[in-house]
Amino acid sequence: MSIFIFLTDAFFTCRKNVLLPKSTPIDGLSAPVGGKPGSEEQQALLQQWLEKGAGGLCSNERASEPDQVPAISAVEWQEGPKLLMTSLSNLIVSPQSSGQEEEEEQQLQQLQGVPAEGSSELQEFVETTLASSPTEEREDVEVSAPWAAVQTEGDLPDVDAPLSTEVWIEDPAVLAWSPAQETDVVSAEGVMWPFADAGQFQPLPLEIPYHEILWRDWEDLSACMPELNPESGSLFEFRVMSYNILAQDLIEQCPHLYMHCHPDTLNWSYRLANLLQEIQHWDPDILCLQEVQENHYWEQLEPTLMMMGFTCIYKRRTGRKTDGCAICYKQNKFQLISASPVEYFRPGLDILSRDNVGLVLLLQPLLTESPGNKAISPLCVANTHVLYSPRRGDIKLAQMALLLAEIDKIAKLTDGSYCPIILCGDLNSVPDSPLYKFIRNGQLYYHGMPAWKVSGQEEFCQNPHQRKLLFPLWPSCLGITDDCQYITLCQSKKSDRLKYSRDFLLQFRYCDTACERPTDLILLEGVTDAMPDRPADWPKDLTVENNSDPELFCSRYPGSIHHGLTLTSAYSHFLPERGCPEITTMPMGVGATVDYIFYSATPVKNDKEEYRRMYQDGALKLLGRLSLLSEDILWSANGLPNPFCSSDHLCLLASFGLEISDF
């Protein structure tokens, strides 16, 4: 396995090299012009790539179908070289560029230098695609042009102003961390990604050897699993990726957050190609995506992923949010049993006033060989993107509780135990934060905790509010117990009793019968001499239905919440070799882990259990993972996104084995 990964990775790297021709320095990182980019070997690889299509890239274990991912025809690559300059000139003289002509001119010269140095085929490709790009797309890109960012910089919204939109609150960074007054000319933008041509790649000027800096090792963990002998039965192996792919709308709404990026690297077409390539390279069997913009999903991601063998399920965020979560699974490995979207927005509840969502799937692994006498448990896969706002840890917890309740319902087997669970997502909380501990340890005492402490994003909480978490964290009418279960599920059986809610009973308070003194009521002064005082506006008709609120059966723990899923993280959040934390994103230049793959494991009894649970693998075994990077490495790559990594998050990838049992 690891050798295979190594080989494919080497190929991947090599191809990246080809596809990222070198020229314009980015963000002051000096980038001496290297050797001829278009070496024969590279071109051969590129040609191979183009001919075979994306499907031929990395798989010798799967039957890839090149035809499903049509390659660009060679003809397109040969078309005329003039369009690039035309487009660039058009852009450069556009009115927004006023005041920065000088620098732009400089940039233009650099860009103009590209053809001399770069591979001519790639140039032509850019020109071709530029020529075919619809104006609509170009307008989009112009919004995100760097001068737009500079213009808005003067009036950055006040983060704490009540009118701040959620964009500011939720976006992974509140202030640009790179103050560089970037005035690069936008070039080569406006390329419409033809989704049918998955794997196609935008040439971009760059000189930094990103692929070397950002190299990620595959950690094979199956070796340290002694009990994995033949006797324990075979394993159903699959790989899970969790990836926040950065919705384009969010870039365009907050361009100042991405001023450290070369504008071309923010171009959706460029990013899409890169993201798809990355997914294809790592070839997950289950793909949990966050920040999937709805139009991009339907127009590009879903059709392309479908061609890659995935079945995709999408849940857009509520309200006016344009992005959402998707879970995609290889249809030759899994069959869908159920799919449950979870909306965290609940009208009227402040603690659930945000438009985040989750998605829970129940999948049946498909056994290829002798399914007759083999059995394998279904797998529950959940994906979510929790609220960003560092100040509202209370909301984050409630959102998690809703998701955990859905998982509890979906994953619960008839005997009350759970099938194996994988929980992926961007939780906007760091390791060992209260929210993280809650997921991992199954309980959290929250009463009195400052809301901003929940997620541990303290460095982003510039103005910690005094909001504290108080019991009850959410009202019973939500229908979720403090064990993060739906109330209807925690009640053992329906009662045939005559149950009345308080509100239902109260509406009879001044009914005619009640206002009439009972004839047999003895009169005791100061005790039974009260007179009912029916308010004038007392409604005679019943308005409250006796729904015999299921909520009313739920018991609440004062000040704490719990859940019964035993989950641990596939990642350790620490890089022992480098002696520093691993990170999945770096908003404002500060690295942090906020993305996770949690999976079901078996708690191990230990004396300190109450502080931190220990786990060992159960039916679901962690076989390996793609190592993450450290903050200093990402610094040297100029942060995220960069030309190599096209999101502001790194992807997480873990390999699992699920026990197959004999009948």
Partner 1 sequence: MNNKFDATYSPPSHSHSPVSLKDDDSGDHDQNEENSTQKDGEKEKNDKDKPQSSIKRKAVVPGPAEHPLQYNYTFWYSRRTPGRPTSSQSYEQNIKQIGTFASVEQFWRFYSHMVRPGDLTGHSDFHLFKEGIKPMWEDDANKNGGKWIIRLRKGLASRCWENLILAMLGEQFMVGEEICGAVVSVRFQEDIISIWNKTASDQATTARIRDTLRRVLNLPPNTIMEYKTHTDSIKAWEEFHGLVNSSGR
Nearest Cα residue to 420 out of 625, 574, 238, 288: 238
Tokens 């509010």: give the residue: 465
Give dist(CA 442, CA 440) in Å, integer: 6
Judged by CB, which is closer to partner 1: 74, or 542?
A: 542
Query: Are 244 and 288 within 8 A, CB to CB?
Result: no
Q: Is 291 left (phi over 0), alpha (psi -120 to 50) or beta?
A: left
Q: Binding of partner 1 at residue 538 (CB under 8 A)?
A: no
Judged by CB, which is closer to partner 1: 31, or 511?
A: 511
Judged by CB, which is closer to partner 1: 158, or 529?
A: 529
Q: Binding of partner 1 at residue 547 (CB under 8 A)?
A: no
Judged by CB, which is closer to partner 1: 516, or 662?
A: 516
Query: Are 241 and 284 within 8 A, CB to CB?
Result: yes
Tokens 């509140």: give the residue: 174
Judged by CB, which is closer to partner 1: 340, or 560?
A: 560
Contacts of 493 (CB under 8 A, 6+ apart): none
632, 634, 637, 640 alpha-carbon torsion, rounded to 10°:
-150
Q: Binding of partner 1 at residue 518 (CB under 8 A)?
A: yes
Stretch of residues binding partner 1 (CB under 8 A), selected from 44-52, 138-146, 547-555, 642-650: 547-555
Q: Binding of partner 1 at residue 202 (CB under 8 A)?
A: no
Stretch of residues binding partner 1 (CB under 8 A), selected from 177-185, 282-290, 358-366, 500-508: 500-508
Judged by CB, which is closer to partner 1: 221, or 511?
A: 511
Stretch of residues binding partner 1 (CB under 8 A), selected from 40-48, 230-238, 499-507, 626-634: 499-507
**φ, ψ of residue 144 in degrees (nearest 5):** -95, 10
Q: Binding of partner 1 at residue 606 (CB under 8 A)?
A: no
Query: Are 182 and 259 within 8 A, CB to CB?
Result: yes
CA 645, distance to chain mean position in Å, is 15
Contacts of 297 (CB under 8 A, 6+ apart): 312, 314, 324, 326
- Binders in 558-577 for partner 1, by CB under 8 A: 558-559
Give dist(CA 107, CA 145) in Å, integer: 14
Tokens for 333, please give them.
């490995």
Closest approach, Cβ 511 to partner 1, in A, equals: 6
Closest approach, Cβ 541 to partner 1, in A, equals: 13
Q: Which of 224, 498, 610, 611 binds partner 1 (CB under 8 A)?
A: 498
Judged by CB, which is closer to partner 1: 224, or 521?
A: 521
Query: Are 481 and 530 within 8 A, CB to CB?
Result: no
Query: Are 171 and 182 within 8 A, CB to CB?
Result: no
Closest approach, Cβ 660 to partner 1, in A, equals: 39
Q: Binding of partner 1 at residue 52 (CB under 8 A)?
A: no
Tokens 């499903």: give the residue: 68
Q: Binding of partner 1 at residue 510 (CB under 8 A)?
A: yes
User: Which helix (H) or strand (E) is 525 found in, with range?
Assistant: none
Judged by CB, which is closer to partner 1: 179, or 532?
A: 532
Judged by CB, which is closer to partner 1: 109, or 528?
A: 528
Stretch of residues binding partner 1 (CB under 8 A), selected from 161-169, 380-388, 453-461, 510-518: 510-518
Q: Binding of partner 1 at residue 163 (CB under 8 A)?
A: no
Q: Binding of partner 1 at residue 524 (CB under 8 A)?
A: yes
Q: Binding of partner 1 at residue 447 (CB under 8 A)?
A: yes
Q: Binding of partner 1 at residue 7 (CB under 8 A)?
A: no
Give dist(CA 20, CA 118) in Å, integer: 10
Q: Which of 4, 6, 298, 508 binds partner 1 (CB under 8 A)?
A: 508
Tokens for 610, please give them.
């109450």
Judged by CB, which is closer to partner 1: 110, or 501?
A: 501
Stretch of residues binding partner 1 (CB under 8 A), selected from 307-315, 362-370, 548-556, 579-587: 548-556
Closest approach, Cβ 512 to partner 1, in A, equals: 8
- What secondary structure letter does DSSP report for 472? S
- Three-state SS annotation for 607-630: CCCCCCCEEECCCEEEEEEECCEC
Closest approach, Cβ 546 to partner 1, in A, equals: 8
Helix axes 101-117, 120-132, angle to 10 degrees: 130
Judged by CB, which is closer to partner 1: 127, or 482?
A: 482
- Binders in 232-291 for partner 1, by CB under 8 A: none
Q: Which of 349, 499, 588, 590 binds partner 1 (CB under 8 A)?
A: 499
Closest approach, Cβ 432 to partner 1, in A, equals: 25
Q: Which of 216, 468, 556, 573 binds partner 1 (CB under 8 A)?
A: 556
Closest approach, Cβ 442 to partner 1, in A, equals: 19
Contacts of 115 (CB under 8 A, 6+ apart): 81, 84, 123
* Count, residues near partner 1 per rule CB under 8 A: 45
Contacts of 595 (CB under 8 A, 6+ apart): 242, 243, 244, 424, 425, 426, 427, 584, 585, 649, 650, 652
CA 663, distance to chain mean position in Å, is 38
Q: Binding of partner 1 at residue 530 (CB under 8 A)?
A: yes
Judged by CB, which is closer to partner 1: 62, or 534?
A: 534
Closest approach, Cβ 63 to partner 1, in A, equals: 57
Q: Binding of partner 1 at residue 156 (CB under 8 A)?
A: no
Closest approach, Cβ 544 to partner 1, in A, equals: 12
Query: Are 426 and 289 within 8 A, CB to CB?
Result: no
Closest approach, Cβ 497 to partner 1, in A, equals: 5
288, 289, 294, 299 alpha-carbon torsion, rounded to 10°:
-80
Q: Binding of partner 1 at residue 506 (CB under 8 A)?
A: yes
Tokens for 49, please give them.
């790539």
Stretch of residues binding partner 1 (CB under 8 A), selected from 400-408, 498-506, 577-585, 620-628: 498-506
Tokens 């641990």: give the residue: 568
Q: Binding of partner 1 at residue 501 (CB under 8 A)?
A: yes
How many helices (H) and strands (E) in the chain? 21, 21
Judged by CB, which is closer to partner 1: 490, or 575?
A: 490
Tokens 């980015």: give the residue: 26
Q: Binding of partner 1 at residue 511 (CB under 8 A)?
A: yes
Within 10 angstroms of residue 295's Cβ, the number of other Cβ atoms is 12
Q: Is 171 left (phi over 0), alpha (psi -120 to 50) or beta?
A: beta
User: Which helix (H) or strand (E) is 49 found in, with range?
Assistant: helix 40-52
Closest approach, Cβ 445 to partner 1, in A, equals: 10
Q: Which of 491, 574, 589, 636 binds partner 1 (CB under 8 A)?
A: 491
Within 10 angstroms of residue 174's Cβ, the number of other Cβ atoms is 25
Q: Long-range contacts of range 552-557, CB-CB < 8 Å, 24 or more positions apart?
A: 552/476, 552/499, 552/501, 553/487, 553/490, 553/491, 554/476, 554/479, 554/480, 554/481, 554/482, 554/487, 554/490, 554/491, 555/481, 555/482, 556/471, 556/472, 556/476, 556/481, 556/482, 557/482
Q: Binding of partner 1 at residue 539 (CB under 8 A)?
A: no
Closest approach, Cβ 565 to partner 1, in A, equals: 22
The mark string for 452-481 relative to partner 1 (x by CB under 8 A, - otherwise) is ------------------xxx---x-----
Q: Note the residues at the interface with partner 1 (CB under 8 A).
A: 447, 470-472, 476, 491, 495, 497-502, 504-506, 508-511, 513-518, 520-522, 524, 526-532, 552-559
